[in-house]
Chains A and B, each alone.
Chain A
């Protein structure tokens, strides 16, 4: 991986035209140059040139970013902004410790499967015993800092309904075996998404095997902990070495897994294996459209849906047509495009929790675009987006729009809600 210094010539290609300000979701909300890519690049350049010390302001500047990649996609000079921002975070992490909350609670737990399982069980217990409703009704939440209030809203504001099995219950003629990469969301708080994807695979004749994979490592990577990201990547590569295809239903995991080849490009032992691994990874929509899919059963009632492009799917993996092709293939589904479907929803992984106010502002813009379509449902392909969209929609008045994962509607869930 290139150091920040090595990336500096690429940074210099920025001619500060300002185009990035118009596509940056955070700039649009704040009109603050420090949020925009050209502002961040100038600050990073000043640091590299020795005009700036890496203090709190610098750290804030780097982390006031959703890493949605809209700036990179809109840059006429082709400045690799995301790469530069990640390198800056990585090098800052070397000299400055992350907060205890982030480091041990979030990243630490994610890196260790036994802790992750424990944590998820605890959260589910909290949700399912009604303890969280008790806390809510007694006003206990108001004592929490805003980021934790946001976190609990995200996780518990509305339980995700169970997956319907109506249409994709039947298993298709056997076509082969694939590995299913279980994202942490599907592992824990949204198991129904994983179930829907596996049913969908079965319906199309694919037997899904689920090795007990580890976290994809993206959270560690974006908070600058590349060592842990590499360790996780290597373990996952070893775990999946016997499979030809690795299917995921999490846009973020998919993008991270396809990136292993770059993450480990400097590792003599794992370089080749990482290349092979990344080449096998498919998003569920990519996989189905590549391999061909069985016709979906018609819905009982017509339903209008709109589709939100997750950053890590559209810009991260170039997957835009496939989910739409699948949605259009369900008899009874009418796809209405929202304005700017590729605008980030404001989720951004832990950004939802670390930057609750900014995240809510971006989410509100997205929710309005969704509401304006008049659709009854919004479909997306990333668990982080699902959480964020649900919360954002619940905070806008006058709508009853449901949020589902693409796998869920394809697996027949939608008919229960229209």
Chain B
């Protein structure tokens, strides 16, 4: 943390050009902006709720002059510590920059500020028959800015891609206070470097996004959901491949392992079969006729693959009922033990059964319950370790287990994180995945745009540049 005299001076200087009501430095406010959904905490010296790119630029110039860190923060729902003010300084909060500036129906793009809640954007564009597909599970409370900074994904990733696939243009404030504009409404644009993608997933370390131009799609008029159970997880994985090979590209292919099924059953008593190793929740979307045809094809394939039970929802309420099981996984497992540590590895789809076996091995080796669920279609698995963060001895085992899971994932051609980001949580493990040369290259980029290391220091890499 910055020393208190500097902190006091900082608030005073900020209040020179920002309404005092938006500069918060009470002990309570600093606590309330010290965390994200990792439950790690680190106090900022001051919290500023910004309202414009010009304000962001002024703050960055001030921070550069005073040598204090600036950490951009959306709704604080991240899962890797990206928005935690790890080294104190300024928590730059974007919840007041929440206007959807334009929904351009003709060109199918939306222009919005970073503090817009993702779910609100989705609702607004749906009203015009359009569709913004990225759907992180926190969509009702996370913000677009955070989604861009962490390159958030979601269940629809396989068919529709993730946040990065929907960004056409950005307004970014650089650490020196310069405001730059990258890309625009054009679908094709090769004028200059493709630096839009440079900032997506940069976790607030390279620049501060103050506006985004997002690509929209026509809303699929129909969707259909089914839940299918399998005696063996290998069978479930083979079925996923068989479905894709048959020419059907489902919007969603979610996987729950036996442990998740059983914990959900303990919690909600939905009548789920406890003996099956896997359940797939499959959703197809598109034109009604196509959806019907694809649903029957998928059901037929599942039958051929000797699925235990195939349950096709007749209508929306029935579909909701099927989703209930998948949505209940998190609440169900958070009741089992005091702490759940959710990982986010991503492996090539064909390696899912091997990865599940590896996780089971880790579970046994370190004697820790691990629940697996995730996105079977894109290989993004969420092994959740159920533990108690106040038990220091057990936490050592947890750390070791996480490392073992990462090593296994990378060995299978996978990566540390599919959609949560590296932030604080995974930075010690970065060398498992990236070569020293790759890390050096990334650091060199960071140094080039932020030589004074003002923006979100200590994330992704170590604190030193």
A binds B: yes
Which residues of A are in contact with B by a Cβ distance under 8 Å? 9, 12-19, 21-22, 31-34, 36, 38-39, 42-43, 46, 51-53, 57-58, 60-61, 76-78
Chain A proximity of B362: nearest CB distance (Å): 22
Contact of B334 among A13, A21, A60 (CB under 8 A): A13
Measured CA separation A14–B34 after assembly (Å): 15
B138 within 8 A of A: yes
Q: Mark B84-118, 1 if CB is under 8 A from A, else 0.
A: 00000000000110100000000000000001010
Q: Which residues of A contact B339 (CB under 8 A)?
A: 15
Complex CA–CA separation, A205 to B385 (angstroms): 59
Verify B331–A76 contact, CB threshold 8 A. Answer: yes
Binds A, one of B24-32, B230-238, B448-456: B24-32
A15 proximity list for chain B (CB < 8 A): 37, 39, 334, 339-340
- Would you list the 5 A-B pairs with minimal beta carbon distance, nearest first? A76-B331, A33-B32, A39-B32, A18-B77, A31-B95
Residue B141 interfacial (CB < 8 Å): yes
User: Could you tell me if A33 and B33 are in contact, using CB atoms closer than 8 angstroms?
Assistant: yes
Q: Does B338 contact A (CB under 8 A)?
A: yes
Contact of B41 among A33, A42, A61 (CB under 8 A): A42
Query: Using Cβ atoms and an 8 Å threshold, which residues of chain A touch B23?
Result: none
The reply to whether B140 and A19 form a contact with Cβ atoms under 8 Å apart is yes
Closest to A59 in B: B28
Residue picked from A12, A13, A15, A34, most chain B C-beta under 10 Å: A15
28 contacts between A and B (CB under 8 A): A12-B390, A13-B334, A13-B338, A14-B39, A16-B35, A16-B36, A16-B37, A17-B77, A18-B75, A18-B138, A19-B138, A19-B141, A31-B95, A31-B96, A33-B76, A34-B32, A38-B35, A42-B32, A42-B34, A42-B35, A52-B28, A53-B27, A57-B26, A57-B27, A57-B28, A61-B28, A76-B330, A76-B331
Q: Which chain A residue shows the least CB distance to B96? A: A31
B28 touching A43, Cβ below 8 Å: yes
User: In the complex the two chains form, what is the Cα distance from A60 to B24 in whole Å?
Assistant: 14
**What is the distance, in angstroms, from A50's C-beta to the closest C-beta of chain B?**
12
CB of B411 closer than 8 Å to a CB of A: no
Q: Which residues of A contact B31 (CB under 8 A)?
A: 39, 42-43, 46, 51-52
Please indicate the chain A residues that have their CB under 8 angstroms from the CB of B36 in the complex: 16
The closest CB in chain A to the CB of B76 belongs to: A18
For B361, the chain A residues whose CB sits under 8 A away are none
User: Hey, which chain B residues are within 8 Å of A39, CB to CB?
Assistant: 31-32
Min CB–CB distance B78 → chain A (angstroms): 9
Confirm or deny: B142 has a beta carbon within 8 angstroms of a beta carbon on chain A: yes
Interface centre among B27, B38, B138, B338 (most CB of A within 10 A): B27
| Alpha-carbon gap, A75 to B390, bound state (A) | 22
Complex Cα gap A39–B28 (Å): 9
Please name all residues of chain A whose beta carbon is closer than 8 Å to the beta carbon of B35 when the two chains form the complex: 16, 38, 42
With A and B bound together, what is the CA distance between A36 and B339 in angstroms?
21
A375 to B311, CA, bound (A): 40
Contact B334 A77 (CB under 8 A): yes
Q: Which of A13, A32, A61 has the most CB of B within 10 A?
A: A32
Cα separation A77 to B96 with both chains bound (whole Å): 28
Q: Does B303 contact A (CB under 8 A)?
A: no
- With a cutoff of 8 Å between Cβ atoms, the chain B residues found around residue A17 in the complex are 37, 77, 138
Q: How far, in Å, is B292 (CB) from chain A's closest CB?
A: 31
Residue B335 interfacial (CB < 8 Å) = yes
A16 to B37, CA, bound (A): 5
Contact with A along B137-157 (1 / 0, CB 8 A): 010111000000000000000
Chain B 302-344, CB-CB to A under 8 Å as 1, else 0, gives 0000000000000000000000000000110011001110000
